[in-house]
Amino acid sequence: MLGEAPLAVAAGELWYFWERGLLEDRLCACGAAFSECPFWVQVLDVAPELRAAEGDMRQFLQREGRSRHMRRWTSARQRRRRTSPDDQAALERLAVMYRTISEASECPVIVDSSKSPTYGGMLALVPGIDLYVINLVRRPEAVTHSWQRTVLQRDTPGKTYRDQMGTLKSAGLWTLWEAGARGLVRSVGRRGLTVRYEDFVANPGPTLSSIGRLVPELASSPALQPGSSEVVLSPSHFLSGNPNRFTTGAVALRADDEWRQHARPGSRTLVRLITAPLARRVGYTSAP
Ligand SMILES: [Zn+2]
């Protein structure tokens, strides 16, 4: 949706450029395989060194993406100490990737939907990137219920979009990632923003306005008409992410509150107990 602004391109979850794009050749949102999509082919024609680095980059991102490294990348002070040759080489390659995407799309702003706070921390160190962070947070009971549902993967038949998780694990993961995301937002100071999914879906205008104040290039997105709850999405080259990335045209915004009917009461209570300290800070205080 933010990628509809004339100066912005929504390129998907670029954390997965190497693994799901180059190595696994999954589907781009335009419907073509990554290796056949005209946009990504153009990127790789201009920067063939990205392909040459695919094995090293996958290894680097998998290793550094482990939970135990999250704090080291999301804290501004700790990540500034990252100067190993391995780190520098990876950050240089990321710089080439983002620069080439920006040139190929002729857009100065790249909207990257990668969910990993660790990866966000890495981007803060990439030469040539002015990083802005938007943390889209959702009520933990809804997130954990969603993680226990099966979503089919369109680009890998027989596989699900994500592994199903139990209540304890998903509640722990919500806490870990939200703590990491809050750390990342803090680490970029005035360039960070936290918005709540529920507020956005109920009334998207104010959320989009705060995003526009943060990044003025995103203020002019024509996707949402004033007073409307419908967005119009054009075809994109969004890489990886929820299977709904293939949807184009008019899309009605509506809250996905299936969890209210279907989440087991015991599971809900457990999630609330585990996530309460952090959930309260985001404003999720009352029992829904
Ligand atoms: Zn494409």
Task: List the domain boundaries for the chain.
Answer: 2-282
CATH topology of domain 2-282: Rossmann fold (3.40.50)
What value does the CA radius of gyration of the chain take, rounded to a whole number of Å?
Answer: 19
35 Cα–ligand 1 center, Å: 9
How far is it, in rounded angstroms, from Cα 196 to Cα 62?
28
pLDDT, one tens digit per residue, over 226-242 is 677 778 888 889 888 77
What's the whole-model pTM score? 0.90
pLDDT confidence bin for 280, thresholds 50/70/90? very high
15 Cα–ligand 1 center, Å: 16
Q: How much is the pLDDT for 110?
A: 97
155 Cα–ligand 1 center, Å: 13
**Angle value at C-alpha 66, between 137 and 47, nearest 5 degrees:** 90
pLDDT at 7 over 80: yes
Q: Which residue has the tokens 């209570």?
A: 269
28 Cα–ligand 1 center, Å: 5
222 Cα–ligand 1 center, Å: 21
Q: How much is the pLDDT for 247?
A: 78
139 Cα–ligand 1 center, Å: 32
288 Cα–ligand 1 center, Å: 40
Percent of the chain with pLDDT over 70: 92
pLDDT, one tens digit per residue, over 61-113 is 999 999 999 999 999 999 998 889 999 999 999 999 999 999 999 999 999 99
How far is it, in rounded angstroms, from Cα 143 to Cα 195?
15
- Average pLDDT of the chain is 89
Contact 147, 204 (CB under 8 A): no
pLDDT at 57 over 90: yes
Kindly tell me the sign of the dihedral angle through the C-alpha atoms of 274, 133, 151, 34. negative
